Amino acid sequence: MSVTTRFAPSPTGLLHIGNMRMALHNWLLAKQHGGRFLLRIDDTDTARSREDYVTAIRADLAWLGLMPEGEERQSARFDLYERAFGKLVAAGRVYRCYESSQELELKRKVLLSRGLPPIYDRAALDLSEADHAARASAGEQPHWRFLLDRDSAIAWDDGIRGPQHFDPAQMSDPVVRRGDGSWLYMLPSVIDDIAMGVTDVLRGEDHVSNTASQLQMFLALEAAPPRFAHEALITGAEGKLSKRLGSLGAAELREAGIEPEAVVALLARLGTSDPVDPALDADALASAFNLAHFGRAPARFDEAELARVNAAVIHRLPFERVRAALPEGMDEAAWLAIRPNLATLAEANEWWQVVTGPVNCPPLEADDCAFLAEAAKALASIAWDENPWSALTSTLKETTGRKGKPLFLPLRQALTGHDHGPEMAALLPLIGREAAVARLNAAA
């Protein structure tokens, strides 16, 4: 089955976590079927669109590993919109209106006060050509509405929400073009989906009513509509829509030490009952992606969960993936020793400092100091084989009678300055015999 999906952000701001999730799911859906994932920059709002946001959107998608197979910009497609719009004008499927926002709001309040749905009354359809000419002479510019076919019920089988039914008689004809000639979202999106060969539109549930109107636009343009699926929106961990989620973007995630693999692992499953598995790569996530697994309840995003997933991801990252981000001199053996103790990659610097020194040993009891002095002598004389830590602790256990915490903790504190951390069997060879002996003597 050929599948083409698209992600269509407006470059009026940076991508936030909800945008990233939608982009990822469209990418996974296309990848699952060996199809195409397209990027469409919806920059018809020329007053608010910025080129630096376009650049940032591309960079953020690349950071996540979501590489589009093609890109379109709506600002370069106005001729296409004009041609399609002309067809709709000729077919009588769009019409001119002149009501101001204040007039429309008054009509809305009147209808609501009567217990009626606030549907546009189509008063503009009663205007004659002479009326239009008079308004044009007075300098009035019309906005345009799409004329819904109120005799044809609207229905589709939503990929997530199941069968959907809308009565067009209970819907207002949507405005598709402003008085200044600029476009609103609805019609250009349909025209682009047709021209770009989009087969599947996966987007947020806030677009469900838009889909009802757009299905008639596809038919009016004599095109088969794509398949539609609408995901529940993201909520914050506190159980309500979080303002922070609207600003939590890639820059903030990177600053917090979150790896792109962790973002992908969590967002791929967010909204489903499928477990989050940091071990799955993009191919495995795409293979298991299933719209039927998405529920209707809001998807709960928890930054603490992301942090846990991030730590699990880091514990699996190979040396080649992180080499450029590690401190100078840190080799693969050091990375493998330190990796299990990291929550973020930046923490590798702190643990490498433990290896390279200096370290500050916490205050110790007198008997522990005497024990460390004996440990220094033992470490200077034992064979520095594949496991000097085992050799050292075995020797000290035999000569001092210590075992368990009294044996291991003073050694760790003297050698690393910490009560916990990477396995000492891996850490001691990195520190080296000379430095380790010096640390033990300094602590004693």
Number of Cβ atoms within 10 Å of the Cβ of 347: 15
Q: What is the pLDDT of residue 237?
A: 72
pLDDT digits (tens, 9 = 90+) for 337-381: 999 999 999 999 999 999 999 999 999 999 999 999 999 999 999
Q: How far is CA 389 from CA 196, 245, 380, in A?
A: 63, 47, 12
**116: which DSSP letter?**
-
| Strands 4-7 and 94-97, bridge-based pairing | unpaired
**Degrees, nearest 5: CA angle 130-135-136:** 95
The model carries a pTM of 0.91
Q: What is the pLDDT of residue 178?
A: 96
Q: What is the pLDDT of residue 99?
A: 96
Distance CA 2, CA 280 (A): 25
- The strand pairing partners of 300, in sequence order, are 235
Distance CA 386, CA 395 (A): 16
Reported as type and span, the H/E element at residue 234 is strand 234-235
**327: which DSSP letter?**
P
Reported as type and span, the H/E element at residue 95 is strand 94-97
pLDDT digits (tens, 9 = 90+) for 239-253: 666 677 878 999 999
Domains in the chain (CATH in brackets) are 1-71+232-316 (3.40.50.620), 80-177 (3.90.800.10), 319-355 (no CATH), 357-443 (1.10.10.350)
- pLDDT by 10s per residue, the chain, length 444: 589 999 999 999 999 999 999 999 999 999 999 999 999 999 998 889 999 999 999 999 999 999 999 999 999 999 999 999 999 999 999 999 999 999 999 999 999 999 999 999 999 999 999 999 999 999 999 999 999 999 999 999 999 999 999 999 999 999 999 999 999 999 999 999 999 999 999 999 999 999 999 999 999 999 999 999 999 999 987 766 667 787 899 999 999 999 999 999 999 999 999 999 999 998 999 999 999 999 999 999 999 999 999 999 999 999 999 999 999 999 999 999 999 999 999 999 999 999 999 999 999 999 999 999 999 999 999 988 889 999 999 999 999 999 999 999 999 999 999 999 999 999 999 999 999 999 999 999
Distance CA 343, CA 309 (A): 9
Q: 60-64 long-range contacts, Cβ below 8 Å, gap at least 24?
A: 60/14, 60/15, 60/20, 60/249, 60/250, 61/7, 61/15, 61/23, 63/250, 63/254, 63/260, 64/20, 64/23, 64/24, 64/250, 64/260, 64/263, 64/264
For residue 412 the two structure tokens come to: 């760790």
Q: What is the pLDDT of residue 14?
A: 95
